[in-house]
Amino acid sequence: MEDYLSLFETYDVLAAFWVNIQLSFWAAIWALAIGTVLALFRISPIPSLQWFGAAYVNIFRNTPLTIILAFGFLGLFSVMQISLAADLNASLFRIAIVGLAVYHAAFVCEAIRSGVNTVPLGQAEAARAIGLSFLPAARLIILPQAFRGAIAPLGNVLIALIKNSTVAAAGSVATEASGLMKTMIEFRSDLVIPIFFTFALGFVVLVIPIGLLTTWASRKLAVAR
């Protein structure tokens, strides 16, 4: 037990989780922005935009996140020497955020589209009947209802994003939780099980409240029909 507690003096477990939370936070904001635009593309009347949205979703949804993040480090950072910050670690951190955002945007787009599918036909018809064209109808009538219908799937994407932030290890973000867990187990292989459960419970504590919260919010904010 004392052995176990001494681990927390040597290794800063909370700081590692904080890295994952930051990765998830920024990636979630970007993914939401990109995903909303993609969803708008896919429901727009313009064929080239529809095609672009569909192509983006099919490409990024079917690529392993590991490849995207490894590409960010091995391709963009090492070969192309693209740097998003002066500091090396900050640059890797931001490239990992871009990778996570680009990947999860495809799922955000599909979540919002599933939200659009919960909006009854009559809403769009009514919007047209009072003379709204595509963008005003989407902004005032369809999307507000679609977002409320998409809360549960968006919550699932957020949960997946938090768990997937550990894959940033493939993008050489060494300070995040899975990397620290690996280091800790390598140095204290006698405590491998307690170390694993510490990190696993950390994610359970992060993820389960979000699941409960989004379930509650999706009921609370559901459009009464």
Sites for other proteins among residues 8-67 (CB under 8 A):
42-50, 52, 58-59, 61-67
**76: nearest Cα among 96, 105, 103, 55:** 96
Q: Pick from 10, 89, 133, 215: which binds other proteins (CB under 8 A)?
A: 133
Nearest approach in angstroms of CB 179 to other proteins is: 9
Number of alpha carbons in the 13 Å side-chain half-sphere of residue 11? 24
With respect to other proteins, which residue has the nearer C-beta, 193 or 224? 193
Which residue type occupies 172? S
Q: What is the footprint of other proteins within residues 160-179 (CB under 8 A)?
A: 160, 163-164, 166-167, 169-170, 177-178
For other proteins, the closer of residues 30 and 52 by Cβ is 52
State which of residues 121, 220, 224, 225 lies at the interface with other proteins (CB under 8 A): 121
Choice between 26 and 74, CB closer to other proteins? 74
Region from 2-10, 22-30, 89-97, 186-194 binding other proteins, contact rule CB under 8 A: 186-194
Pick the stretch among 10-18, 22-30, 84-92, 111-119 that binds other proteins (CB under 8 A). 111-119
Q: At its nearest, how many Å lie between other proteins and the CB of residue 6?
A: 20
- Please pick, from the candidates 6, 78, 89, 215, the single residue that binds other proteins as defined by CB under 8 A: 78
CB of 90 to other proteins, least distance (A): 22
- Which of the stretches 9-17, 21-29, 92-100, 126-134 binds other proteins when contact is defined by CB under 8 A? 126-134
